[in-house]
Structure 1
C-alpha cells in the first residue's frame, strides 16, 4: 500500500493594536520597471490556443493612482524546436492576446518583449501535470477537528521529478492561497493536501461552511518556477519577528539591451487541472 503525505495550510492572522499617533515614514523608492505577467496555462481538456500576456509598469507602494497597462509593445513566443512564432496582439489595455498558440508538453519556448526600444527575453519549458486530481472534504485532518477542510489528492508519477503549484480560492474572497509542492520525499506516492481556514473578522476570513464554493487549480511547474514562487509566497506572508527583510525578487525575464533595467514578473508555461468543490 502506498503512503501519502498530508500538508495542512492554515490562514493565521495576528492583529496588533497601536496608538493613534500619525508617523511619517520615508520609504525607499525605485525606478519604474516593466512588469511581465506571462503565464501560459494549458487547461486539460482544452486546445490551449487562447493565451494572454499582461504588461504594466511598477509604481511606488503608496501610489494610489490606477496602474495602467503598457501599450505599444511587441510580444511574441517562439517554439525553440521548430521556430514557430506566436504573435500576441496589443489590445490597447495592457493585454496581449493570441488565439493560435500550440502547447506541447516538455517543449521549450522563448518569450520576446520589445518595449521602449529595449529587448526583454525569457525561456521556459511547458511542464505536464497529473490527471487524477480528486477533491473531498473532512473535519479530521486539519488543526481544528470541528472545522471543514478541503482535501486535494493525486498520485505522483514515480518515473520523474515533479513540482506542483496549487491555488485555492473561495468564491467571494479577494485573495487566493498558493502552495508549492515538490515530490522529493513523496515520489510515486499518493499526495493529499489539506486546506483549512480559521475565523478572523478583522480580515473578513471565516471557516468553511456548507454551501461554500472553492475553485482549485493544480499546476505542473518547472523547478526554477518552484523556487521563484516559493520565495514569493514566503514574502507575501510578511516578515516575522525573526524573519529576514524581503529583497527584490527577480524573475526569468532578462533585458538584453540594458541588463540593469530588468523586468519584474515571470514567463511560465504549465499544464493545469481546474476543479470546483461545493461543501456539503
Structure 2
C-alpha cells in the first residue's frame, strides 16, 4: 500500500510538472517622453559659469536598451531680468553644455528646449543656500544607538522661508541618499541635520565605520522643487502592503506645442555647498 502511494505521488508530481505553461503577460507601456535633467548648480566659491543639461528619452521598464540619449535638440536658458541668452551646445552624447552662464541669486531664468518640433519651457528662480557651520559625528541622534551618524550643522535665515535639499553618498556606495527639508518649525534657529546608515544584512549594507568618506551636497531649493522631490523620494523609498501607489510625477517642464506630450524631469537652479567628511 505504501509503495502504491509513493508511485501515485510520483505520477502526480510528473503530471503537474508537465502542465507548466509559459504565460505571456501584456504589460502596458507608456509613450516615450523627453527627459530633461536641467539642474544648474552654482557651487559656493566658484564662478558657476560651467553648466550642463542632460537630455534623454524614457524607456519601457523591461526594455534592455541603454542608449536613450537625445541629440540634435536646441537648448537655451534666458535670464529673465535682462533677456541675456545662454546657448547650450550639443555634445552629441546627451549632454548640452555652456561655459558662459552668469548665476545671480534670487533672479528668474527660463529654459527652452526644442526637440522633434515641440517646444518645452520651464521657469525657475536661482535659490541661495546658507553656510554650513560645522560637521560632527556622534551616536546619540539616530535610530540605532550603536551606529555612527554625521550631523551637518547650519543656521536657518530668519527673514525668509527656506527649503533645503541634501545629498549624502558614502564613497563606494552605488547610489546617494536624498533628503529634503524646510524651516516651517525651525525658522531662524540652528539646525542639526543628521545622516545615518542602518545595517541591513539582507541587502549587505554596513553602517558607517571609521575611515568611511561621505560626500555631502547641501542645496537651497524652491518651494515647488521641495514638493516635487518630497513625492519622488516617498515613491522611491515606499515598500510594503500599505505603501502609496506610485503615480506619474510631472516636473515643471511644459510642452508649449503639444501639452499632453509633457517632459519628465525638472529645471532647477540652486546654490550648493559641496564638502566631505571622514568618519573618525
Q: Same fold per TM (> 0.5)?
A: yes
- The equivalent of 1:200 in structure 2 is 200
Residue aligned with 2:234, SS: helix
In the other structure, the counterpart of 1:9 is none
Moved more, 147-156 or 197-206: 197-206
Corresponding residue SS for 1:126: strand
**CA offset digits 1:66-111 (Å, max 9, x no partner):** 1331000000000000000000000000000000000000000000
Q: Is the alpha carbon distance of 1:151 and 1:88 closer, same or farther for their aligned partners in structure 2, counting shifts above 3 Å?
A: same
Higher helix share: 2
Whole-angstrom CA distance in 2 between matches of 1:101 and 1:240: 45
**Where do 1:117-128 residues align within 5 Å?**
117-128=117-128
Distance 2:113 2:270 in 1: 20
Q: Secondary structure at the match of 2:202?
A: helix
Partner of 2:258: 258
**What does 1:135-150 align with in structure 2 at a 5 Å threshold?**
135-150=135-150
Task: State the distance in 1 between where 2:22 and 2:195 align.
Answer: 38
Tell me the TM-score normalised to structure 2 length. 0.90
**What's the counterpart of residue 71 of structure 1?**
71
Give the superposition deviation at 1:143.
1.7
TM-aligned CA distance change 1:29 to 1:76, over 3 Å: same
For the pair 1:230 / 2:230, whether they are aligned, the reply is: yes
Report if the CA contact (8 A) 2:132-2:152 is conserved: no
SS at match of 1:96: strand
Shift, 1:24, TM fit = 5.9
Match of 2:268 in 1: 268
Please give the secondary structure, in 2, of the residue aligned with 1:203: coil
- Detail structure 1 runs of 4+ shifted over 3 Å in the superposition: 21-26
Mapped contact 1:133–1:273 kept (Cα < 8 A):
no
1:113 Cα deviation (Å)? 0.2
Residues 235, 244 of structure 2: 8 Å contact kept: no
1:214 maps to 214
* Offset, 1:239: 3.7
Cα distance change on mapping 1:67 and 1:202 into 2, 3 Å: farther
Question: Bigger radius of gyration, 1 or 2?
Answer: 2
- Which deviates the most, 187-196 or 50-59? 187-196
The SS at the match of 2:56 is: strand
Paired residue secondary structure (2:132): coil
Aligned with 2:119: secondary structure?
Answer: strand
Q: How many residues are aligned here? A: 260
Deviation at 1:242, TM superposition (A): 1.8
Give the aligned partner of residue 99 of structure 1.
99
CA distance in 1, matches of 2:49, 2:260: 34
Per-residue displacement from partner, 1:144-168 (whole Å, max 9, x unpaired)? 2211111111000001100000110
Q: Give ranges in structure 1 of 5+ residues lacking alignment.
A: 1-20
Q: Distance in 2 between matches of 1:197 and 1:22?
A: 41
- Greater relative contact order, per chain length (Cα 8 Å cut-off, separation 6+): 1
TM-score, length-scaled by structure 1: 0.90
